[in-house]
Structure 1
């Protein structure tokens, strides 16, 4: 007879992808609500989640060589710095709004993920492939 503790936890294995999917849905909803200029009461919290979580996720993916705790701390601090830098530039240009902030942060996040993908592609390529 099998003991309950002998079976691997399916909830523990499935939880990170489920949380990542929920975070993407929440951030995507925030982006849509901000870009459309909706009057929904969920616009501000969802957009703020996007403005923090998106660059943090991009930085977390980029910093693969560090331990997870250090990656999380640096990604959180870096996300704050990216947000403050974007706000300063947009404010200096006098175009600071929810729409422009979301556009800039999504662009920066996309660049971070593209850099991560390029780094991983370069790590997998052999020296022969790089000289072609």
Structure 2
């Protein structure tokens, strides 16, 4: 359900919809996407510390993206959504690749 809400939020933001749900769903996407990626990378921690670090990391990613875009004078809502989605996807991809390598190394040993 959370993935659907985040996906709808990103879609509403990218399509420049006038829906009243655009703001809350987009905010949910901006927090959930990086938090999920960071939480996947911190799999070894217990639930509460991992949740806290994931949310703090998601806020940091969002702020760093906004700061970087403002610094180079390229701020746009669409650019911010796409950049956060790309960073989150890249982190999830790297976590998946790392786990696959560990499984392959265990099978060889």
TM bin (shorter chain): over 0.9
- If you compute each CA radius of gyration, which structure gives the higher value, 1 or 2? 1
Report whether the alignment pairs 1:80 with 2:90: no
Q: CA RMSD in A?
A: 1.6
Consecutive unaligned residues of structure 2, counting only runs of 5 or more, are none
Give 1:49's match in structure 2, choosing from 10, 28, 38: 28
Give 1:89's match in structure 2, choosing from 48, 62, 68: 68
Q: Distance in 2 between matches of 1:128 and 1:24?
A: 33
Report the counterpart of residue 111 of structure 1 in structure 2: 90
The structural deviation recorded for 1:128 is 8.1
Instruction: Count residues in correspondence.
Output: 109
Q: Kindly provide the CA deviation profile for residues 6-40 of structure 1, in whole angstroms up to 9, marking residues without a partner as x.
A: xxxxxxxxxxxxxxxx1111110011111111111
Runs of 4+ in structure 1 over 6 Å off = none
TM-score by length of 1: 0.77
Give 2:39's match in structure 1, choosing from 46, 52, 60: 60
Q: Kindly provide the CA deviation profile for residues 26-83 of structure 1, in whole angstroms up to 9, marking residues without a partner as x.
A: 1100111111111111111111110011000000011111111111111011001101
TM-score by length of 2: 0.92
Report the counterpart of residue 27 of structure 1 in structure 2: 6
Q: Distance in 2 between matches of 1:54 and 1:63?
A: 15
Consecutive unaligned residues of structure 1, counting only runs of 5 or more, are 1-21
